[in-house]
Structure 1
Amino acid sequence: MEFKLKYITDDIKLSSYEDKLFKTEVVFDHHMLVWFISGETKIIQADKNYLFKSGDIFLIPRNQLAAIINYPKDGQPHKSVVMHLSTDRLREFYASLNVKTKISATQKIRSFDKHPLLESCLASLMPYFDVQEKFPENIASLKITEAISILRTIDKEIDNILANFEEPYKIDLAGFMEKNFMFNMPLEKFSYLSGRSLTTFKRDFSKIYNTTPQRWLTQKRLELAHYQLTQKNKKPVEVYLETGFENLSHFSFAFKKQFGISPTQLTITK
């Protein structure tokens, strides 16, 4: 496995991955503007899956649970330019603007269909990854400001995402967990996104489900995996990637312990 990251600033990076696939489950602290140079990425969220290919440009809003699976494609590595749009930088950008936003409960990934203005902005960063000199912060700031300005020009709804500086508030815990249990996240992330401290999260969870979060999460993931294998005819390697298990061997062990048969045997006997 060879996964490389090269930063020209803390907020602008080039990633490259050359193995079969790379999976991560994340909640981003910043909005992420991504331009694919080569490869494919599948992004799994609670209510929708996305597939992005070479040339695609998209924005992942902050504080959204997602499983991200990166694949090399057609003999080319998975390669992308990523720009962080941090809350501090966005506050500075919007400070002089009179912007009224509509705050949506769910902020979706936004795709920009290889837009030439965004592509030109992000492609102009490529030469800087090949030089040894330190990238000037004022140029980095200008590039990020340029990207934000282009986003506001081509997407009239983008202010509802970029100018939303609220932190997660206390929400219905049962609804949140039933929607997001398939993401293999630390309990601290689940508690934060539900608007609770870890102690309050565990207390509220116990009142609702009368069990621990870890036991409940494992049970829900196994039930979903069983459904996908038997009703959706998915392969075990697909299922473990989409149901919150760390790897195929861990998934197979837990599945057999629960159902008395391995995922592979179940698909064969169907």
Structure 2
Amino acid sequence: MEYQAKYITEDIKLSCYQDKFFKSDIIFDQHMLVWFLSGETKIVRTGGTQIFQKGDIFLIPRNQLATIINYPKDGFPHKTVVMHLTTGWLRNFYSKLDVRPAAIDSPGIRHYAHHPLLESCLSSLLPYFDMTSLPPDLANLKITEAVTILRSIDSTIDNILANFEEPGKIDLVDYMEKNFMFNMPLEKFSYLTGRSLTTFKRDFKKVFSSTPQRWLTRKRLELAHYQFAEKKMKPIDVCYEVGFENLSHFSFAFKKHFGYAPSELLAGKG
């Protein structure tokens, strides 16, 4: 994979993927404001799949599990400007304001389409990526501008950006049933359900009567079977959307579990 990144600071970057595609299962530790210059991104979350393309601007809230699949498109690479809105920066910003955010169980991705104010703010960053000497405090000024614009165009954005709570202990069954398709380390699942890794494994065994890895593999394969049987999706798409990293490994595991290959099921032989 040919990947290139240019930075103004570690919180503002120009990201470019030249390859066929890049896929990753991610938990975002910080909020991310993204502006598309070219290419396409498919974001798979519990609530469904969203596709973003050239000109789109969106905010991905922190502590959200997602499968990200980046594609070049129309002969152009996947290229984005990414601004991280870190907890530390936001704490300092909101310390000067009287804001009391309302609780949101699972904030979704905020899509701002081709909003002229945000687009103007983010496009003004482009010349700086090729400069070796930058004005002092530039990044702080541009992030302040972006957050100020977000607050002016989205009346509920403070409920996301000004909420600094960490995940508390939540219902394990409900969370895992909604998020099993994300191929994350068990440490991440334990953190997001408000548990230590030891407690997570103990609670998991108690409620599912299985180890996490066996249960996750079975659930992902069952979802894959549904995607083939009911939606006639392609193996390459199903493989990545249900939490596998490699098509050959996915096909092998599928056949071992069901007794027939994905191609046989799609051909009506399963």
Instruction: Report the TM-score, using the length of structure 2 for normalisation.
Output: 0.98
1:118-267 to structure 2, matched below 5 A, reads 118-133=118-133, 135-267=134-266
1:18 deviates by 1.5
Equivalent in the alignment of 1:34: 34
Alignment CA distance shift 1:137-1:162 (3 Å): farther
Equivalent in the alignment of 1:268: 267
1:108 deviates by 0.6
Cα distance in 2 for residues equivalent to 1:136 and 1:85: 20
1:225 deviates by 0.3
Q: Secondary structure in 1 aligned to 2:181?
A: coil
Q: CA RMSD in A?
A: 0.9
Equivalent in the alignment of 2:88: 88
- String of CA shifts for 1:83-105, please: whole Å, max 9, x gaps: 00000000000001111211110
Residues 1:59 and 2:59 aligned together: yes
Alignment CA distance shift 1:136-1:191 (3 Å): farther
1:68-87 to structure 2, matched below 5 A, reads 68-87=68-87
Cα distance in 2 for residues equivalent to 1:148 and 1:71: 28
Cα distance in 2 for residues equivalent to 1:7 and 1:200: 39
Q: Secondary structure in 1 aligned to 2:137?
A: helix
Structure 1 range deviating more: 161-170 or 14-23: 14-23
Structure 1 residue runs without a partner (length 5+): none
Q: Is the 8 Å Cα contact of residues 39 and 73 (structure 1) preserved in structure 2?
A: yes
Cα distance in 1 for residues equivalent to 2:2 and 2:264: 32
1:112-123 to structure 2, matched below 5 A, reads 112-123=112-123
1:136 deviates by 4.3
Cα distance in 2 for residues equivalent to 1:255 and 1:55: 38
Structure 1 range deviating more: 162-171 or 231-240: 231-240
State the percentage of identical aligned residues: 67
Q: What is the aligned length?
A: 269
The amino acid across from 1:233 in the alignment is: K
Q: Secondary structure in 2 aligned to 1:201?
A: helix
Q: Secondary structure in 1 aligned to 2:105?
A: coil
1:16-31 to structure 2, matched below 5 A, reads 16-31=16-31
Instruction: Report the TM-score, using the length of structure 1 for normalisation.
Output: 0.98
